[in-house]
Amino acid sequence: MSSNAAYSPTTTSPNLVQNEPLFDKGYPKTLNGLVKTLQMVLLMIAFLCVATHTIGDGYFQSATIWWFFMVLIFFLLYFFRVPKRITMIHWPLTELIFYVIGTIFVLTASITLASRTHGYAALIVGLIFGFMATGAFIYNGWLAFSMWRTPSAQPESSTPQQT
């Protein structure tokens, strides 16, 4: 009952499209990609403005750089099509929770910095960019909420779906 034929199992995942590229070149041009890029730029400018000042607020710096990297991680997840490969996570709801928490942290950091600016121009500019980043978090949270409430909504992709 022994067989000389070599056993070579083949497995394919039903959720993955064959010959799909590793990354989505068009994602940075979508609305979600543009808003995430805007958030990263605003957070980095806010961080740098406050970090260059000697009286900089540590909580503001921590919040802005932390959420910069968190937005970068979400950007890279969508850029490398991870939500299409890992379907057991409800990505719109995860992103909604992420943006609600990010909004709270960046808003409280900006309010805290507002009480300590003492008329220093660098801190005021950092504060303005912090509030602008908060607005971007709110907008992206609204986008995530609308995707979450839409049945079978997936984040925008620049490549057409294969049928």
121 vs 26: CA distance, rounded Å: 38
**Burial of 8 per CB tally in 10 Å (0-12, 13-18, 19+):** exposed
**Pure H helices in 6-120:** 31-51, 58-79, 82-85, 91-114
27 vs 157: CA distance, rounded Å: 6
Whether residue 154 is predicted with pLDDT greater than 60 in this model: the reply is no
The contacts of residue 101 (CB under 8 Å, 6+ apart) are none
The predicted model scores a pTM of 0.78
The one-character DSSP state at 28 is G
Is residue 109 within 8 Å of 89, Cβ to Cβ? no
Q: For the chain, give the number of residues.
A: 163
> pLDDT per residue over 1-52, tens digit each?
555 556 555 555 555 555 678 888 899 999 999 999 999 999 999 999 998 8
